[in-house]
Structure 1
Amino acid sequence: MQIGVVFPQTEIGGDVGAVRAYGQRVEELGFRHIITYDHVVGADPAVHKGWDGPYDVRSTFHEPMVLFGYLAALTSLELVTSIIILPQRQTALVAKQAAEIDLLTSGKFRLGVGLGWNAVEYEALGEDFSNRGKRMEEQVELLRRLWTEESLTFEGDYHRVTGAGLAPLPVQQPIPLWFGGQSPRAYERIGRLADGWFPQMEPGQELEEAKAMVGRAATEAGRDPSRLGMEGRIRWTSDQQALANAARRWEESGATHVSINTMNVGLKTLDDHLNALASAAEALNLIR
């Protein structure tokens, strides 16, 4: 099971030196990948009365694709979006950006995608919030073709490409597409279309029920469920034994990857986050 970290988007701030120090130290500690969340804009609660989203206009978010171009020059870590809100972005541009990151990392990139929840953000980016599920399915098809064909012609319900293609193509053809989501519809889509997924719950009965839905959908689509990756998430705690136990439970549940999340646990500074990850690395026997 590959162990990585969640980049603390909302707490690391805009200091580029902190971004550099974080990426390099994570690699030194023996972690294998960095996961990054995505939001392009945040809603202003003063304008959107009754706003109850987990993030707002004051929440710091580095743009994942640009961030990964920077980190690719500093580390040899696998870089993972979890998730890019795909339907609010132009598909061909996402394909181009992802191909570039894949080249810069020598094929160590996973593109995690999902639908998102913030209609304010969709409006700001000029996209329709109401049909995002249908559009994402078409986007996935087009992305894979753009990554594997020198020239293609595609006409769907939402996209048209006529005799065009990317150059250079990515190292991975196609780049692995992992899905987020937490609903029966999302699990069906994962089983039918994804290369892997990010469960939003802890190991236990709820996870087993979700896995069963994913597996059924994969089988019905003629796919092998055992080939789907699964990445769990562990909320950091100072209790090293609890961290080790959580990692073991994920491994027993069939996870291929797991990431340690230090966001929203009360850590105040970059050093706090890095010290927490050093403790986690020791608990998980990563330190060389």
Structure 2
Amino acid sequence: MQIGVVYPQIELGGDPTAVLPFGRAVEELGFDHLLAYDHVLGAVHAGRTPPLTGPYTERDPFHDPFVMFAYLAGVTKRIEFATGVLILPQRQTALVARQAADVDLLSGGRLRLGVGVGWSPVEYQALGQEFRSRGSRQEEQIELLRRMFTEPVVDFAGRFDRVDRAALVPKPTRSVPIWLGGSSEAAFERAARLGDGFIFSGGGVDHATDDWHKVQELVRAQGRPTETFGGEYVMAPWGEISDLTDQIEAWQRAGGTHVSVVTMGRGLDSVDEHIGLLSTLANALDRP
């Protein structure tokens, strides 16, 4: 099972000098991947009807995952980069294809594209996309992305996108794997039909395991092999290191293929402190 780390964007405060040492530490300490959350904009929650449901506000910093991963691709050799998750329907599909292809090319095939539908209509409005149709748009986008990654010329006419005999050049050397994330039944069903894997977060490992088994059953019902369908658990929160290792072992017993450890929420306020915790975790987890 692959063990990775979530980039602690909130507690590193958007500090651009923190990205390089943190990314290098993830690789040097033997972790398998770096996962990054995604928001283009944070919004004021007060006075909105209906209220915003997510945890982030106008005060919470984020780096663009594609930009950050392209930067880290040049200073690392081994670790995989995963978006967990990129809010796909608020973006132009062809532009995502270009950005994902370049990160995969520049990193030597190390990108895993995790996508979701998000929760903030403010972001959708600012980016010129419709919020209410985001689930349907994501489905169409996944089909179009795969075609753009693999076909010499794409002629596509959908509900949301039109590509008139155009090509993505250069293409990635493979079809970039597309995983889905979320917590709804619709997300599970969509992933079973269209995805290469699913990213679970929150609720504890027992809850994630129940959902993982549900998704596996949906994959089987689609006539797809579960052996090639990945399952990642983003582990937050956790208490003592023994609790962390117990949860990782439980996820592995459940057949999970990936896990990502969150170092946020533990009172750390510098990149050195986060790297220090990673070092402790690497020893406890017997990272090579």
Query: Is this a same-fold pair by TM over 0.5?
Result: yes
Which stretch of the first structure deviates more once superposed, 13-22 or 83-92?
Answer: 13-22
Residues 237, 265 of structure 2: 8 Å contact kept: no
User: Unaligned 5+ residue runs, structure 1?
Assistant: none
> Which of 138, 143, 146 does residue 144 from structure 1 map onto?
146
CA 1:255–1:39: 2 relative to 1, 3 Å: same
CA 1:280–1:238: 2 relative to 1, 3 Å: farther
- The AA in structure 2 aligned to 1:138 is E
Q: Report whether the alignment pairs 1:264 with 2:281.
A: no
Residues 197, 230 of structure 2: 8 Å contact kept: yes
Residue 59 of structure 1: aligned partner? 60
Residue 119 of structure 1: aligned partner? 121
- The within-5 A match list for 1:1-288 is 1-45=1-45, 48=48, 53-76=54-77, 77-172=79-174, 174-200=175-201, 201-204=203-206, 206-235=207-236, 239-286=240-287, 288=288
Residues 73, 107 of structure 2: 8 Å contact kept: yes
Deviations 1:67-98 (A, max 9, x none): 11101111122110000000000000000000
CA 1:236–1:283: 2 relative to 1, 3 Å: farther
Cα separation, 1, equivalents of 2:217 and 2:15: 46
1:270 Cα deviation after fit: 1.1
User: Unaligned 5+ residue runs, structure 2?
Assistant: none
Deviations 1:7-39 (A, max 9, x none): 011121233221111111111111111000000
1:45 Cα deviation after fit: 3.6
For the residue of structure 2 that corresponds to 1:247, the secondary structure is: helix
Aligned length: 285
Cα separation, 2, equivalents of 1:159 and 1:38: 23
* TM-score between the two structures when normalised by the length of structure 2: 0.94
1:225 Cα deviation after fit: 2.0
For the residue of structure 2 that corresponds to 1:163, the secondary structure is: strand
CA 1:51–1:188: 2 relative to 1, 3 Å: closer
Task: Note the aligned Cα RMSD (angstroms).
Answer: 1.7
- The AA in structure 2 aligned to 1:38 is D
Residues 92, 143 of structure 1: 8 Å contact kept: yes
Residues 232, 255 of structure 1: 8 Å contact kept: yes
Cα separation, 2, equivalents of 1:103 and 1:150: 17
1:105 Cα deviation after fit: 1.0
Which stretch of the first structure deviates more once superposed, 95-104 or 50-59?
Answer: 50-59
Cα separation, 1, equivalents of 2:58 and 2:209: 36
- The AA in structure 1 aligned to 2:219 is A
Cα separation, 2, equivalents of 1:224 and 1:52: 35
Deviations 1:244-275 (A, max 9, x none): 21211111111111111012222111111111
- The AA in structure 2 aligned to 1:64 is P
Cα separation, 2, equivalents of 1:236 and 1:45: 24
* TM-score between the two structures when normalised by the length of structure 1: 0.94
Cα separation, 1, equivalents of 2:66 and 2:212: 29
For the residue of structure 1 that corresponds to 2:280, the secondary structure is: helix
